[in-house]
Amino acid sequence: MVDSEDTGKVILVLNCGSSSLKYDLILMPHRKSLGKGIVERIGEEKGSLEQKSDDKKLVIEQKIKDHREALELVMRAITDRDEGIIKDVSEIAGIGHRVVHGGDKYASSVVIDESVVAAIEEFIELAPLHNPPNLTGIQVARELMPNLKQVAVFDTAFHQTMPSHAYLYGLPRKFYEEFKIRRYGFHGTSHRYVSARAVELCRRHPSNTNVISCHLGNGGSVTAIARGKSIDTSMGFTPLEGMIMGTRSGDLDPAILGFLMDRGYSSKDLIKMLNKESGLLGLSGISNDMRDLEKAAEEGNHRAKEAIDCYAYRVRKYIGAYAANLIKVDILVFTGGIGQNGWRMRERICKRLENLGIFLDHKLNKEMGSKEGIVSEAYSPVTVAVIPTNEELQIAIDVYELAFGGESAFRRRQTDFNVGMKRS
350-362: buried (b, 16+ CB within 10 Å) or exposed (e) per residue? Answer: beebeebbbbbbe
What pLDDT does residue 407 have?
A: 57
pLDDT digits (tens, 9 = 90+) for 359-413: 999 999 999 999 999 999 999 999 999 999 999 999 999 999 999 987 544 454 4
State whether the Cα torsion 224-229-232-235 is positive or negative. positive
Q: In the predicted model, what is the mean pLDDT of the chain?
A: 93
Q: Is the pLDDT of residue 342 over 60?
A: yes
What pTM was computed for the model?
0.91
What are the two backbone dihedrals, phi and then psi, of residue 19, each rounded to the nearest 5 degrees? -135, 20
242 φψ region: left (φ > 0), alpha (ψ -120 to 50), beta (else)? left
The residue-averaged pLDDT of 20-43 equals 96
pLDDT digits (tens, 9 = 90+) for 177-197: 999 999 999 999 999 999 999
What pLDDT does residue 25 have?
A: 98
pLDDT digits (tens, 9 = 90+) for 61-102: 999 999 999 999 999 999 999 999 999 999 999 999 999 999
**Which residues, including other chains, have CB under 8 Å from residue 368's CB and lie 6 or more apart?**
343, 375, 386
Q: CA angle 346-204-217, nearest 5°?
A: 30
C-alpha–C-alpha distance, residues 293 and 226, integer Å: 34
The residue-averaged pLDDT of 152-159 equals 97
The fraction of the chain above a pLDDT of 70, given in percent, is: 94
Instruction: Name the band, by pLDDT with cuts 50, 70 and 90, for residue 1.
Output: low
Q: Is the pLDDT of residue 337 over 80?
A: yes
What pLDDT does residue 17 have?
A: 87
Give the β-pairing of 56-62 and 32-40.
Answer: unpaired
Q: Where are the beta strands (DSSP E) in 314-365?
A: 331-335
Q: How far is CA 378 from CA 357, 381, 384, in A?
A: 12, 8, 10
Q: Where are the beta strands (DSSP E) in 29-132?
A: 32-40, 47-53, 56-62, 92-99, 110-111
What pLDDT does residue 2 have?
A: 52
**Which residues, including other chains, have CB under 8 Å from residue 406's CB and lie 6 or more apart?**
9, 28, 29, 400
C-alpha–C-alpha distance, residues 353 and 156, integer Å: 29
The residue-averaged pLDDT of 226-243 equals 97
Q: CA 77 from chain center: how many Å?
A: 26
What pLDDT does residue 127 have?
A: 87
Query: Which among 3, 55, 104, 155 is annotated as catalytic?
Result: 155
Cβ distance 375 to 345 under 8 Å?
no
What pLDDT does residue 5 have?
A: 46
Taking the CA atoms of residue 185, residue 187, residue 190 and residue 192 in that order, the dihedral angle to the nearest 10 degrees is 10
Q: Is the pLDDT of residue 357 over 80?
A: yes
86-98: buried (b, 16+ CB within 10 Å) or exposed (e) per residue? Answer: beeeebbbbbbbb
The residue-averaged pLDDT of 7-17 equals 93
C-alpha–C-alpha distance, residues 158 and 242, integer Å: 17
Q: Is the pLDDT of residue 249 over 60?
A: yes
Cβ distance 151 to 157 under 8 Å?
no
55 labelled catalytic: no
In terms of Cβ atoms closer than 10 Å to its own Cβ (0-12, 13-18, 19+), residue 43 is middle
Q: CA angle 95-120-226, nearest 5°?
A: 80
